Chain A
Amino acid sequence: MATQGLPSAAIPTTTEVLVIETPKQGVTVQQIMAVLPAEIRATVNLYLDGRIRQWYSRGDGKGVLFFVQAKTEDEARAIMESLPLAKEQLMDHQYIPVGPLMPLRMLIGTETQQ
C-alpha cells in the first residue's frame, strides 16, 4: 500500500520494529508448549543483548508482542526467525517499523500559536 502522500518529513527514522506474533491457524497449545522452554531462554537472551526492548502477552490470549531494536523490518525478521517457535513454523508474524512521533515537530516550530 502506498504511503498515501505523506511527505518524507512526516516519516520517522525507524528505531524499533513492533512484532505481533500469533499462533498459526490449527497450531495447538501442546505444539507451542513443547518449544516454550527454549523460546523463553532465547527471548530473555535477546532482551539481555538489548535486541528486544519490550515484551507483552496479549490480553485477548491471541499471542505476544515485542518491540525489537532494529532499523528495518528485515533486520527484525532475521532476529525473530532465529527463535525456536519461528523455526518450528508455528507462528505468524506481523512487522510494523516505528520511530519518533513526527507531528511533535510542530510544537517546536515558529507556528506553535496555531
Chain B
Amino acid sequence: MKLMLILVVAMLPVAGMAQSQSGAASSALPSVAVPKTTEVLVIQTPKQGVTFQQVMAVIPAEIRATVKLYLDGKIREWYSRGDGKGVVVMVDATTEDEARALIESLPLAKAQLMDIQYIPVGPLMPLRALLGPVMQSSGVQ
C-alpha cells in the first residue's frame, strides 16, 4: 500500500512530471515511470518519391557498414518491415543524439533517402510494482 501511495503522489501534476514536448501534459508519465535509456529504436523508411533503385544503389555499402556496427556491439537488433516500408534497428545508445550520430554515419542516411524516427527506450518501469508491498496487499485487486 505504501508503494501505491508513493506512486500516486508522484503522479500529481506539480511534482516530477516527465518532459512533454507535445504539450499534452496530462498524458505525460511521472518521472518514476521514465526509465534510464539503454537503447534507441530507429525506424527508417524511404522518403516519399524515393525509388527502390535509389535505395538499392546504396544498399551494398549500407549492409557492410551495418554489419560492422553489429559486430562492434552498436546495433543490437535489426529487422526489415513486414509491410515493406523500410527497416527497424535497435541501437546501443543512451541518448537520441548518440543514436543519431551513429545512424547518420551510415550510407543510406548520408544519401538523404530516408525518413528516420528515433525512440529512446529502457526497462519496462511498471514492473517495479512487482517488488513492492502493493502486490502483497489483497487490496490491490
What is the interface of chain A, defined by CB distance below 8 A to chain B? 1, 3-7, 10-14, 16-18, 20, 22-30, 32-33, 36-37, 39-40, 43-44, 55-65, 96-104, 106-107, 114
Q: Are A33 and B8 in contact (CB under 8 A)?
A: yes
Contact of A58 among B20, B120, B134, B141 (CB under 8 A): B120
Minimum CB distance partner of A72 in chain B: B82
Q: 8 closest Cβ contacts across the A-B interface?
A: A61-B18, A97-B82, A59-B120, A14-B82, A3-B84, A59-B37, A98-B79, A56-B121
> What is the minimal beta-carbon distance from A106 to any residue of chain B, in angstroms?
6
Q: Are A57 and B51 in contact (CB under 8 A)?
A: no
The SS class assigned to the A binding surface is mixed
Q: Are A97 and B83 in contact (CB under 8 A)?
A: yes
Contact of B119 among A7, A13, A20, A106 (CB under 8 A): A20
> What number of residue pairs across chains A and B have CB atoms under 8 A from each other?
170
Q: How far is the CA of A3 from the CA of B51 in the complex (A)?
A: 10
Q: How far is the CA of A42 from the CA of B131 in the complex (A)?
A: 16
Q: Are A57 and B85 in contact (CB under 8 A)?
A: no
- Residues of chain B lying within 8 A (CB to CB) of residue A114: 60
Q: Does B116 contact A (CB under 8 A)?
A: no
Interchain Cβ contacts under 8 Å between A and B, 17 examples: A12-B80, A16-B79, A22-B27, A33-B7, A36-B129, A37-B134, A37-B141, A57-B33, A57-B122, A59-B37, A61-B34, A96-B82, A98-B81, A99-B80, A101-B78, A101-B87, A106-B60
